[in-house]
Structure 1
């Protein structure tokens, strides 16, 4: 956790910083007379979100990162980007995955301001279900570009939200449940944006397993562990079924999803905490919401009001 700032006009210093904080690389300067690089890194377990600003054209040759590396271009361009047999160029508004975690890549960044978000590939497995192949075949992205402009826009909003509303607020970033939930939400957004090897449609076995006993086991696990960072895969494991069977059971019996139900349970716990708060303490609506994984106060207030017919601060004040 924390923030790291870097600002240098020395190309060797920049290369050393990048090699220590990304992967071993060689860089070069294609713009004589200037070489300033400014970088801000915010980090949480499994995820780093970096904003980079270069006022020169920088070539790069990078060894495998062993991470999912997303790039969001704000200004400038990235030219001649290559990995394997893929060659591409990116400009403002583009959202891409730089390369598979195990592959090197190279190219040129042309006086660009851009975002690099890296996450552990294991996070993808925690929010996906790959069937019986899961133990030997990790989830892989099948293309470096999102499936659609809408998918790219959603992923961009997710990255910006994690950067601004989770990592950008020290009080929010200090809440373990929020941090873990945000990391898993980012991983889920990556899977939603890019074609990948995860399976999503329920099989015949999944449909057979989506019975009421499965639902009862899942509900009991959620109720007992709502205060922890829960993934759909963990709930499915506790119910002894696949993720697809779990999702189908919730849809069939409750017309909802496992995560929507988890959110409802957490909202109930937040409501109870506000109702029973000790007036002699400095408890606030924001702190209670954050404790239960709601890291956007405005959205929490809206959800609370829609559910309980009053704003959360009134519940707290009426005690």
Structure 2
């Protein structure tokens, strides 16, 4: 996972009334507040940079409460209205090289009608996609359009991960059904952890998106609000699919435990039958093995053969009795 701790600016744009976009450098941002009269801005910054922290505290013009929330180390998805803007925390699957998708990365956003300030610690593909579109001339019409696009792309990238988890759950079920196949307990445990890690953020993200449509009347147009509701519905469906996968994995684990318990009981039953068969044989051999006078057959050459035949007959009778009792 790539972490940038030095460069404060990931990228930034300024949009004029004619729909033109201009790239901004860090010097232009650091010298003044986040909002600028007559233009709209999107400032995408590195949360780990000390320069960003200093700018937020001293020159950004953003409320100190929002500054603290934007710089928190660990956050869950949420949306809070504060004055003219919205504080939004969202999560997306980790698409960086060498990382696991369930290690979801966070993007923190402060948005008003005039500016979007977004912070991240790790690369987020959704923001890079929007940057590329802007560079190609597709300029978002409002701050709400920027936030809506980011939320939509985060959801787009979550859905394939959920589909792969469903496919993996199907494979696990097939392995449990096939008698010859053995499902690794550690593999199932790792799979369940992935599902729970994703679910931890997906459920509150659904609530955050719903809150955005209710609280962001000044930021989101009716069309954008409709799009956000559609995204919230998709996230709700993703949450339901995760719940289903979680329940399926729990049932698989219970089934594995039951099958292992059944196999253990069968083995103990076989051992018990063997013990029951050899118990009288052990008694007979122990009785005839005592070293005292008066033991019958000590002077006969056929006594040992007769003893063996008697034990075979006894074993046959016991097996016959066990079968009649349906123990075998």
The TM-score by the shorter chain falls in which range?
0.3 to 0.5
Q: TM-score, normalised by structure 2?
A: 0.33
Structure with more strand by fraction: 1
TM-score (norm 1): 0.34
Q: Which has the higher contact order (CA 8 A, sep 6+)?
A: 2
Which has the larger helix fraction? Answer: 2
Which structure has the bigger radius of gyration?
2
